[in-house]
Amino acid sequence: MVDCRASSGPADPRFFTRVGPFDASVLAETAGAELLPPRQGSFPQDGYTGIAPLQVARARDVSFLDNRRYAPLLEHTQAGLVIVAPAFADKVPEHSAALVTTTPYLAWSRIARLFHPRQIGKGGVHPSAVVDPSAVVDPTAEVGPFVVVGPDVQVGAGCIIGSHSVLDHGVQLGADCRIGSMVTLSHALVGDRVTILPGARIGQEGFGFAVGPEGFESVPQLGRVIIEHDVEIGANSTIDRGSVNDTVIGAGSRLDNLVQIGHNAQLGRCCIVVSQAGISGSTVLEDYVTVAAQAGLIGHIRIGAKARIGAQCGVMSDVESGADVIGSPAMPFREFFRNVAVLRKLAKKASGSAKGDSDKV
C-alpha cells in the first residue's frame, strides 16, 4: 500500500527531474544577484543540490524570501543559501549565504529552472500513435501514445506531444513546443516554445450565427488561430478560430486554466488572462494587459496597453491604456470604491431611520 503522506520534500524525483549540484558562483550568475558568503562557516564544497521553502530547507538547499509576511521564517531557516531583497540581507542567518537582488522572485525562478530544466523530448513516435503519411514530424520530436497527427501537419524540432492529443489537418507546431495530453488543435499555427496544458481545445468553430426567418443559421468560421512564440495556455482552456480574421495570441502571453477566447479576438504581447475569464469575439487586448479571474469582456471593444481588469469585472466598453477597472459595469477603481462607500452610508442611514420608526411604534 502506498503511503500518500510520504514525502521527499519539494520536487519529488518521481515526478521532476533534477540536475546539479551547482556552486554558489554559478547560482549568483544565473540569478543576476550579489553573492554574500555566510558570516559563520563556508560554502559547501560540493555545491548546492536543490531548492526548498524556508521552513524545510537544509544546508545544501537554496531558498528565498519575497513576501514580508514570511519574514519570521527567515530567522529559523536552515537553508544554506537564501535569495533576499537588500532590506533583508542583514537578517539572513549567520550560517546561510545570501543572494541579494531587487527581484528575489525572478532570481528564484531562474535558479529553479537551472535545477529543473525544461523537459527534453526523447524523440520518436510511439507505436500506438497514428501519423498521416503527409505529415512532417521532426526526428527529434516525441509523439506519445495514441496521438493522432493529421494530414499536412508539421511538428517542429524538440516538440513533445502528450498522449491522446489530436493535431488536425494542416496544423503547424514550431520548435520546442510542449503539448499536454488530450489536447485538440485544429486550424492553428503555433510558434516556438509554446506550452499547451492538458485538455485545451484550440481552433474549434467560434460562436457565430445569423438569425433567419425560421431560426438560427450558422455562419462559417473561416479564420485560424495564430499562437506566437513563448505562449503558455492553461488546462481546459478554449480558443476559437476566427470567423474571417484570425484569432491571435501574442508572444509571451499567459492564459490560466479554464479561459475562453472568442473568435477574432486579438491579444497583444505578454497579456495575462486568469482562470474562468472570458473574452468575447473581435475584442482587442493591446500589449501587457491583465484580465483577472472570472472577468467578462463583451465583444468588439479595445483594451489599451497595460490596462488591468479586476476580478469578476464586466467590461462593456473600451478601456484606456494603463487604466485599472473593476465592477460590473466596469469603472475605475477609485470610482468603484467611492460608490461602495456611498451605498454603505445610505444603507446605514436607511437602517437607522427604520429603527427609529419602529421605536415610535
Single-letter amino acid, residue 286: E
> Hey, CA dihedral for 119, 122, 128, 131, is it positive or negative?
positive
Q: Report d(CA 167, CA 60) in Å as an integer.
A: 44
Closest to 269 in 3D by CA, of 241, 300, 230 = 230
Catalytic residue among 95, 116, 263, 300: 263
Pairing of strands 260-261, 314-315: unpaired
Q: Report d(CA 294, CA 275) in Å as an integer.
A: 7
Residue 111's Cβ-side half-sphere holds a number of Cα atoms within 13 Å equal to: 31
> Hey, CA dihedral for 172, 206, 234, 70, is it positive or negative?
positive
**Cβ-count burial 150-182 (b if 16+ within 10 Å, e if not):** beebbbbbbbbbbbbbbbbebbbbbbbbbbbbb
Q: Report d(CA 251, CA 191) in Å as an integer.
A: 9
Q: Report d(CA 253, CA 62) in Å as an integer.
A: 29
263 noted as active-site residue: yes
Burial of 7 from C-beta contacts in 10 A (0-12 / 13-18 / 19+): exposed
Catalytic positions are: 263
